Structure 1
Amino acid sequence: MPAWLVGVLTIAVLGGALFGLYRFVGGRGSTSNADATATKLPAAGASKNPYSKYVEVVGVRLFENDAKKPVVRFTVVNHSPAEITGLELQVVLKPVDSKPETEPVSEIDAKVGSVPANGTKEFEALLNTKMKIYELPDWQFLKTDFVVTAPN
């Protein structure tokens, strides 16, 4: 066999072995953790309220207002073909990688009001948290769980 072919085959075998080791050690652990986290989250529409299957909370942003108080802003989406009036939510913000027993970043009682059919509405409120603004997780690392409390 030529020396160049032996070198190429050696690199291919070592690369394959390293890739297999990476998939066995690193890849499997992250996949099982992601699956375990996904199964513990409440399913969309898990609330007993009939409107919960049409409502979605997205676009969560945390920032400070002019008074240096932490504020949360998010968008409520209405996926139904009818307007929802008097909408009230209880929103819980938690870190994405948190365990069920982990204390939430904040709990917000949101009196959203009317959301048009197939429309959106932004909501903003002071954040009730013990953390400073620089201690809060970034938006990519937050998950929102919510329950529709009104209308019934």
Structure 2
Amino acid sequence: MSQLLLVLAEPSVLVFDNAPYHSQLTEESRCSTTTTNKAELVKWLEHRKIPFPPHATRPELLQLCKKNRQDPRYTIDNIIREWDHEVVRLPPAPPELNAIEQVWDCMKRYVRSSLQQFTRAGLQVRLEVAKLCATKEVWAGVV
């Protein structure tokens, strides 16, 4: 990531989808989940100095954690902002906002329509040809 940031013109806007490797939460914005044990819930609340009843049940503590969680902050966003760039995150689902998804769709349609009999060798040949779908014109059309 730092090599990319070195060559970007400043300021730049980086657009991210919601892939897991783009969405690692910072330690401060991680929140407890339904799989978190009671001791961890207590630790989370104490670390943030959030008062809770001494005999609260695990579901009560979990509810309190969810009520007090921060908006998500991502590790990669912090790094990018340190370099004076901006981050824009795509909504979770719509592929029409994500150019690569549209190019993949073009390639998958080609493979499906041209693969008469499924064999590993046939698939590999079709995938190689499908890569040719990713032309400058296709990219220009989806961007």
Sort the TM-score into its range (normalised by shorter chain): under 0.3
With a CA cutoff of 8 Å and minimum separation of 6, indicate the structure with the bigger relative contact order.
2
Instruction: Looking at secondary structure, tell me which structure has more strand per residue.
Output: 1
Question: Which structure shows the bigger proportion of residues in helix conformation?
Answer: 2
Could you state the TM-score of these two structures normalised by the residue count of structure 1?
0.19
The alignment's TM-score, normalised by the length of structure 2, stands at 0.20
